[in-house]
Structures are given as structure tokens and as C-alpha cells.
């Protein structure tokens, strides 16, 4: 493990993207669903997932 001096870790804790994993649209509800449910989908995709859980 020589030459470990060049490794740089990125700090992305403050940056959360609001893009839905299902429809790839940006929405504020993505961050809310991530906090509440643990997955990054928007409000409309969450409703569709609830109604049609396939």
C-alpha cells in the first residue's frame, strides 16, 4: 500500500439530487420520499407504485 497519498475522497453529504429513479424527472418530493421511505422516487411514481406494486 505505497502511494496512498493520491487518493481523494469526495464529500457528497450536502448534495442530494432531486431526480426520480423511475421517470428521471426532477421533483422536490424525491428528497422527501428518500427521507420517509428510503427510495428516490417522485410523488407520482410513489402513487403508481402503491396502486400497481408489480
* pLDDT tens-digit series, residues 27-51: 999 999 999 988 899 999 999 988 9
Task: Give this prediction's pTM.
Answer: 0.60
Q: Cβ atoms within 10 A of the Cβ of 45, count?
A: 20
Those residues whose C-beta lies under 8 Å from the C-beta of residue 31, and which sit 6 or more positions away, are 16, 18
- Residue 26 β-bridge partners: 19
pLDDT at 16: 59
Query: What residues contact residue 44 under an 8 Å CB cut-off, 6+ apart?
Result: 23
Contact 30, 20 (CB under 8 A): yes
* pLDDT value of residue 41: 93
Where are the domains positioned within the chain? Answer: 19-54
Amino acid at each position: 500500500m505505497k502511494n496512498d497519498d493520491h487518493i481523494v475522497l469526495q464529500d457528497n453529504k450536502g448534495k442530494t439530487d432531486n431526480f426520480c429513479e423511475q421517470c428521471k424527472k426532477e421533483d422536490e418530493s424525491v428528497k422527501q420520499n428518500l427521507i420517509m421511505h428510503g427510495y428516490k422516487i417522485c410523488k407520482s411514481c410513489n402513487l403508481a407504485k402503491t396502486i400497481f406494486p408489480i
